[in-house]
Amino acid sequence: MKNKHPIYRTGIGQDSHRFLSNDSTKSCILAGIIFDDMPGLAADSDGDVIFHAICNAITSITHAPILASLAQDLCKNQGITDSKIYLEKAFESLGSQQIQHLSITIEAQRPRMQ
């Protein structure tokens, strides 16, 4: 018998990286948006903390080790540093589950977003 009531699961994800020095040529990327006027974040990947936090939230539901092993393999062995690819892998790990709500909080003085 199919359950008449939907099952909701809550995933919580967090990520942080420090900024590189101002003379770094690596751009800051947040949610796939490039901020050329800001130094990038220290990471082997592009350092997109928003996409990484979403991956971690999905991992807390699926237990699929996206950033812990899959992204490391993609980054170090295949040279794939685009966090959008990691996020796609996280979405694939959901299978038939669907995201109903997503909330993101950014605590930073820069880059300035309006």
- 7 domain residue, yes or no: no
- 37 domain residue, yes or no: yes
Q: Using one digit for the tens of pLDDT, what is the confidence trace for 25-39?
A: 999 999 999 998 899
- 41 domain residue, yes or no: yes
In contact, 59 and 48? CB cutoff 8 Å: no
- 10 domain residue, yes or no: no
- CB contact set of 21 (below 8 Å; sequence gap of 6+): 39
Tokens of 29: 């990327």
CB atoms within 10 A of CB 46: 26
pLDDT at 108: 81
Q: Which has more pLDDT, 71 or 86?
A: 86
Tokens of 50: 């928003």
Q: How far apart are CA 30 and CA 23, in angstroms?
A: 19
Domain that holds residue 85: 27-93
- 74 domain residue, yes or no: yes
